[in-house]
Structure 1
Amino acid sequence: MKSKYLAEFLGTAFLFWAVVGSGIMGQNLNQNDAVTLLANTFATVFALYFLITCLGDHSSHFNPIVSLVMRLRGEISTNTFFVFSILQIAGAILGVILANYLFDLDPLQFSEKARSGTNLFVSEIAATFGLLLVILLSSKEKVAATVAAYIGGAYWFTSSTSFANPAGTIGRSFSNTFAGISPGDILHFCVAQLIGALLALFVYNSFFKKPE
């Protein structure tokens, strides 16, 4: 039982170490944001695939919104949902701080990168809607590949670059680098993510869920 908690903590930490670390590496190696985003995309896709594949037998949500939907579906308990959420947020913050340190930046810092605007709010609704629908429609055997592929694509076809994860949104506010987000923009991103997740669950239950 304890392995699922450790899996959520370590998995989320590794994921956002990869997200922020690859953004920093991309910026260090070139001055082209498109190339940096491409490097960021590849690292995130690879990280998602190996983390979900390796930890999937224990737990591989890495995202409080995913855990919430699984709670609403009755797949985890309320207590597990809250513990998962705390561990995911803590893991994301740790992963980001580690990325800062490894690239010789101040470990504890706050992002000044503004990500505001109605278009970004709607983008996060759409990004999270897509992510949760992909998860709900995927088989256990294919979920690692489908989630990694979806996020890799969504980095490019959403204006918000598809955060789609409250833990990651909070964690990324601790790095004033390419992948960061200003603390003042966290709330509206998280609200958008909640709306997108609930919409995905509604659509899945209404149109795709198989009769029991």
Structure 2
Amino acid sequence: MSSIVISLAHFCDKHGPRIISVTQSAEKGTLGEDLLVPDYPTDSYCESCLLQFPEESTRSMRCFIEDVPFITTQYSSIRYQLLNSIIKRAFSEETMIYDNMPFIYFDDLRGLNLVIGFKLYDENARGNERRYCFILTVDSRNHDESMKMLSENWNFIIGGFDKMITYIKNVHKSEFMGKNQKKEDKLETLNNNAFIGSYLRANKSKIGRNLVSLTDDKFLFVRIHKWNSFLLHTVMKEDK
């Protein structure tokens, strides 16, 4: 069975393409200790890059589904270079768009990757927007096997990502509307239009903000961890 990983990444104003969180599974019956990164310096992460759980001292989150540990961390201790290579390609692809439309690429180095991008309005970001993507990675060089798994679970995977993104957009919209008392259709336009010209112009007053701040949901990454774990467990179960 192939290894499957779900990443959340963004394009940081300061650091460029950067991973925010990685969810992966360990062997059934183990505790997945090799995947945990319980302590690491956070000074190399700006505010917009930081994975933030409700307890500030928490660096990793783990849950068990049918005795299989699923772990979400800021980065992968065993796939660090691989995932960094994947997100750099994802954000550099000319086909990368930010309206929940998926694109797929495969090569022997990066495996099979399904990428879905989205963006959120933020007046403190470059071009007044922050760009994100969810990536499902099948870490395998077997193209046929990987595509078979993806095709058999396509609707479930796409539906799962869509639910996550829709939730994030909705709570972001509520937060924006609550603080600014703007018309709803204005935010919809800002989130859905491509700000090509303005995005390329640096915003001198840009301030780092992560998804917890943008949504005002301190449990957001807990929800993402649970969503990703359930999605991975279901796909892996079908792949056996």
Q: TM-score, normalised by structure 2?
A: 0.28
Which structure: larger Rg?
2
Higher relative contact order (CA 8 A, sep 6+): 1
Instruction: Identify the structure with the greater strand proportion.
Output: 2
